[in-house]
Structure 1
Amino acid sequence: MSTLITDSNAVLTFTGQWARQEMADYIAPAMSCDEVDALYGLLYAMGEPATADMWMTAHARGDQAGERHYRATDAQYAVPVDPMDLLQCDSCQ
């Protein structure tokens, strides 16, 4: 399939509207994985990889374990560090 874009202003308007974080935070969690994949592909093809990533991240926050875009939080992997160990001095031990 070939697509000819004749109105670049329409593309800029579209990508500008979909680049709003508040919109992604509100809509993306309600989207299906297939829907967000399609939007991601379109935004990426239009030269907006950061906007595409923003939508994917906003969607992934709503996915549960076992769903396609689920991402474990960093807190699950955090290892407590004793700040005194970082000083590496004999009197702190």
Structure 2
Amino acid sequence: MTTPQLPEGRESALAVFTETFDCGSLAFEVGPALTCLEAEALAGLLGALGSAAGADAWIEGHAASDDCGDMHCQCEDCVPEDAGQQ
């Protein structure tokens, strides 16, 4: 068994992390398995690393499985139709 090549140094590791997790399809596959806090932490890190779209994808991917009343739930009861319209 060979040892995988790991990035050396913080900047390189963060670049690899961002490149790997800045993926909408991964977010929608894995996001539902995360807790709200895990999704927020991952999205927060991606956002801090300059990937706002990646951060949004992880929250949206996670929100698809949130139950009514959960932090990211997007059902009619949690997000009224007129929300955001002003």
The aligned residue for residue 54 of structure 1 is 57
Return structure 1 stretches of 4+ with deviation > 4 angstroms: none
**What is the one-letter code of the residue matched to 1:22?**
S
Gaps of 5+ in 2: 1-8, 82-86
Structure with the larger RCO, 1 or 2 (CA within 8 Å, 6+ apart): 2
Could you say which structure has the larger radius of gyration?
Answer: 1
CA distance in 2, matches of 1:69, 1:7: 31
Shift of 1:19: 1.2
Q: Secondary structure at the match of 1:40?
A: helix
The aligned residue for residue 81 of structure 1 is none
TM-score of the pair, normalised by structure 2: 0.70
1:38 equivalent to 2:38? Answer no
CA distance in 2, matches of 1:42, 1:8: 13
Pick from 71, 81, 85 the counterpart of residue 68 of structure 1. 71
**Alignment length, in residue pairs?**
70
Shift of 1:26: 1.3
Pick from 1, 10, 17 the counterpart of residue 13 of structure 2. 10
Q: What root-mean-square deviation, in Å, do the aligned CA atoms of Structure 1 and Structure 2 show? A: 1.9
Shift of 1:8: 2.5
**What is the one-letter code of the residue matched to 1:9?**
S
The aligned residue for residue 28 of structure 1 is 31
TM-score of the pair, normalised by structure 1: 0.66
Gaps of 5+ in 1: 1-5, 79-93
CA distance in 2, matches of 1:59, 1:50: 14
